[in-house]
């Protein structure tokens, strides 16, 4: 340690870095921990957050102080603080991170912190505190605290994950990843947004399929647009009366990832009633024959990237034309609390196409979606309306036989009861 100061602080700006590296929370956590260890620091803990769609913040707590970082992937930029005391040489960490981040340029300022000439040393008994600290900390282990964050400009949901990445592919359409959270198990993330997890996927997949199927009562031919994880077709194919399901998913990498790493969800891809097509669902429905499908389910992601076209007037007009006279449309409808604009615009679009009284909204809850509250929005072409069902006993028997965990007859009816604030949104 420098005799004139308590610590050494290096303020670093890494520029022209690889943007993919700058947006990889697990990789950055790994490199920051390694940078500390290269300089012979003793790592105590690490905490890292990923922000959607981009950006990572984190800190590695070391016995000698800390290493901290915040990244702006869109600029290829990272701001890094290396604060040390003792004999640790933080410039070793600097050299390691410069190479790890593939930085093409940088600036660094070294500062001495805690001038001993300005401070007065206090003497107090530390023996008990040191003993407790040594009992608590295992010098052979540090805790990892890596967080995945799905957010918009005003709110976010964060999940702590293990740091393990089982699948990470940049497809022509989006970044596809399978990572593992502590609370909800393995999960699928598309462009850094949570799509589904092992532990709560049944909330979504049961509610996107069974209410419409029991409302229709005799759906034979069904089209699913999107749904690459396989959960929606798994639930549809629980119904023995279904003769054919056509699933059109634009991104084959999603299917590959889920078949390999989420087999519990992707359990029905080998069903002979399924016609799996890797193609653009928007183009597919545009060319579909009139009155082809009893049920059309739009299982898309948020209205960005490849899913943006799934929220257009033209698309839903084509869906309407493809439905039989008693056909039903179900669409992933966003959250009235997280994406108010998309939620209301979609409903107004469906009202214009199907009719004011034939565009009901179903609300349900998914713990791993921001705000928890989510929606499916309907378009009813015929007279079979999901608010009015009379087959409760049939539903409950099906629920018991199939072991469903979210959907039942009461949930079916209750999901169409909209809170007052939602009613107000839909009238805007």
Residue 37 gets which letter from DSSP? H
At 61 the three-state DSSP class reads strand
- Respond yes or no: is residue 81 known to be catalytic: no
Rounded to whole angstroms, the Cα distance separating 278 from 294 reads 21
Relative orientation angle of helices 201-216 and 392-402, to the nearest 10 degrees: 140
Q: Which residues of 132-153 are buried (b: 16+ CB within 10 A; e: fewer)?
A: eeeeeeeeeebebbbbbbbbee
Q: Give 298's contacts (C-beta < 8 A, 6+ positions apart).
A: 225, 226, 281, 310, 319, 329, 330, 331, 332
Rounded to whole angstroms, the Cα distance separating 348 from 354 reads 10
Rounded to whole angstroms, the Cα distance separating 63 from 1 reads 14
**What is the Rg, in whole angstroms, of the alpha carbon atoms belonging to the chain?**
27
Q: In what order do the strands lie in the sheet with 293-299?
A: 274-278, 244-249, 221-226, 293-299, 323-332, 373-380, 361-365
Q: Give 62's contacts (C-beta < 8 A, 6+ positions apart).
A: 36, 41, 42, 43, 44, 84, 88
24, 31, 299, 302: the catalytic one is 299
Alpha helices by DSSP H, listed for 39-122, are 90-100
CA angle (128 as vertex; 125, 133 as ends), nearest 5: 120
Active-site annotation, residues:
299
């Amino acid at each position: 340690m420098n005799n004139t100061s308590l610590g050494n602080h290096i303020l670093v700006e890494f520029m022209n870095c690889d943007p993919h590296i700058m947006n990889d929370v697990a990789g950055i956590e790994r490199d920051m921990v390694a940078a500390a260890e290269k300089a012979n620091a003793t790592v105590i803990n690490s905490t890292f957050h990923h922000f959607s769609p981009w950006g990572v913040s984190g800190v590695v707590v070391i016995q000698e102080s800390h290493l901290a970082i915040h990244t702006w992937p869109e600029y290829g930029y990272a701001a890094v603080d290396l604060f040390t005391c003792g004999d640790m040489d933080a410039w070793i960490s600097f050299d390691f991170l410069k190479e790890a981040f593939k930085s093409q340029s940088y600036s660094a300022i070294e500062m001495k912190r805690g001038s001993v000439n300005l401070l007065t040393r206090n003497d107090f008994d530390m023996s008990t505190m040191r003993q407790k600290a040594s009992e608590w900390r295992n010098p052979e282990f540090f805790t990892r605290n890596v967080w995945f964050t799905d957010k918009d400009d005003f709110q976010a949901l964060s999940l702590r994950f293990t740091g393990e990445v089982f699948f990470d592919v940049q497809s022509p359409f989006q970044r596809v990843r399978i990572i593992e959270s502590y609370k909800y198990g393995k999960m699928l993330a598309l462009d850094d947004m949570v799509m589904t997890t092992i532990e709560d996927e049944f909330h979504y997949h049961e509610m996107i399929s069974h209410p419409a199927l029991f409302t229709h009562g005799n759906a034979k031919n069904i089209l699913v647009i999107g749904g690459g994880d396989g959960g929606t077709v798994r639930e549809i194919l629980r119904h023995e009366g279904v003769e054919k399901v056509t699933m059109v998913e634009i991104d084959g990498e999603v299917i590959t990832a889920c078949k390999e790493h989420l087999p519990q969800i992707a359990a029905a891809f080998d069903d002979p009633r399924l016609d799996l097509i890797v193609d653009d669902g928007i183009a597919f429905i545009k060319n579909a024959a009139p009155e082809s499908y009893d049920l059309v389910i739009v299982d898309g992601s948020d209205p960005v990237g490849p899913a943006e076209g799934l929220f257009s007037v033209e698309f839903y007009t084509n869906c309407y034309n493809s439905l039989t006279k008693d056909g039903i449309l179900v669409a992933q409808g966003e959250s009235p609390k997280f994406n108010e604009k998309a939620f209301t615009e979609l409903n107004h679009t469906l009202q214009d196409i199907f009719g004011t009284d034939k565009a009901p909204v179903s609300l349900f809850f998914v713990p791993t979606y921001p705000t928890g509250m989510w929606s499916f929005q309907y378009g009813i072409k015929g007279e079979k309306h999901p608010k009015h069902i009379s087959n409760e006993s049939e539903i409950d028997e099906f629920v018991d036989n199939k072991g469903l965990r979210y959907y039942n007859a009461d949930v079916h009816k209750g999901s169409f009861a909209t809170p007052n604030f939602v009613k107000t949104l839909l009238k805007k």
